[in-house]
Structure 1
Amino acid sequence: MSENVRMSRPHPDSGQAPAEASAPAPGRPRREAAPDPVPPPVGGVLWTVAGDIRALLMLPAALTMQVAHPAIGAGVDDHSVFRTDPWGRGERSLRSLQLWIYGGPAAVEEGRRLRAMHKRIQGTDAHGRRYHALTPAHYAWVHATGYPVYRHGLGLLARPLTEAQERRLYAEWLQVGRVLGIHDRDMPQTIEEFWPYYRRVLEEDLEATVVVRELIDPDAAVPAPDRGPLPLRLVLRMAWPWLRGPFQRVRSFLTIGLMPPDARAALDLAWTDAQERRLRRVARVVRLVVPVLPERLRYLPLAYRARRAARAGA
């Protein structure tokens, strides 16, 4: 899938001027530029849940499912800075995701920026197969993981969605896909089409790649956080030798636990009944605490500002 228009350029010494890309051939009508995709609506399901701090707990599960695809895992393994700059990488990913939903006109610009950035990401996966980040099947899978993770995570950390809410969430997630530059032909257009596609990818494509194993490793060597106010960073840097172990164990537990069970099974990730009971106890506390927080604390900064601006505009 390519967005480039190839033009025949004359030699600089030929004296011939290059043809304008916008000039139609003689007798051929001018093609109208496609309208920009529309981000999810203000007040929709995504508007409510994507900026909620509970999304921070769900995001690692989606990222792990993405890199379980060998091509995507290889791209991250070869080109990402997630090992050397995990906090910066996470911050940039989170801001990008928030822009898709709360950015207004900036959402489309962010989608274009991401596609431009991914044009150079290519290589060979662990099976010796060539990959490119913008191969439609690869790029669409990165987007597709969001829907089942939201659906599963909200059922635990908030409340199960009704059938109408599930359909609305999926329709809004398709809008996000269009913002990212994914064609409708590369995304299942209904929930009924989505689940067979999703299960086929789980059964035929996913595996516990090198990056998956690193992301769920409770003993991974993660550097101290380098984001946030300076006093907090200094305290965390000093305490990190004692905090890193508990942090990684909690992160691994939530990443695996908030992954949809069928995806967890496809990756052969161990999960016991005792772990499930512990997860549900944690989820119960989250369900009780988060809804009573002030909006400034409940929502991430970009989402909080967008929500305030929308109310002011209304």
Structure 2
Amino acid sequence: MKDYFFTKPSKITESEDRSKGRSLLKEILRLVRIYFLPRLGLHYIALYIGIMITFDGGLLAYFKLFAMPNGFMRAFEVMFDLFKNPIAYLLFTLASAFTIPIIYASSRRKDNLSVRALGLDRNHMWREIICGYFSGVTIVTAFMLVLVALGASIKLNSDVSWLLIAIYFILFLLQGFSEEQAFRGYFMTALARRQSLAVSIIISSVAFACLHVFSGAVSVLTFLNLMLFGVFFSLVFIRRGSIWFVSAFHAAWNFISTCILSDSLTGGTLFTVETKSMNHLINGGSYGNEGSILITGIFVVGILILFIMPRKQGEF
């Protein structure tokens, strides 16, 4: 266990030699500036385009809502309803992908982080992607099968759009890579140049969870699970030294949860898993998988296994 708390991987110590980094506060503010704010701006652009496409009356009618009694609440309802619209949801997902070149250019030029430190080595890249994707598919499928065993029903949707699913497959690969590049490849590595590895993992995982606060009804358990998700991925990134594995795992998690086995109609899912009659602690409630206590158990076990298994010489 001390390997993760006291021993920094070689890629981080090499980064320390290239640049000593910034203070904790400055690193957090920098993440806000080069990732959170651009992503927020891109999401607002996607929001307004989505409203123009889906809302009766377009943007003008939407802005008129704010002048009506309870208009703010109605406007927010319209905004969150967009996540149930396949076209609007595609726009939100695509917006995340545009942060990829911003993070890469900034981390390479301003932070002087090497390709190796960012986990972008191409050695065994396809093996890492395939293994990561298979791991993500396995865990989400296992979770859904447990729900079915506990009483959930599952049915095949006959009117699914295969073109939409194919587009989502590609976009979720980009979204998974953008978030892992930002929080594991860049932010955690940049923090670790001046902070302990434990602090870097925890702070980057909290930041990752905060990103998803704006995605809907986030409970305390959901926030905890998102933090555990971040810690687990950080440890996997440290062990494998590859952003490709965690990015593919992340992409598979989102794709399977949204388009293949889902309790939501977003994106025209292939199979609908009906869980409304189940306890929200089990099915995750309105947020989905990440709000389930079963997911808490999965990631706690995964983190403990990674802690117990010693790092091999040369890892990361």
Give the alignment's TM-score, normalised by structure 2.
0.25
Structure number with higher helix proportion: 2
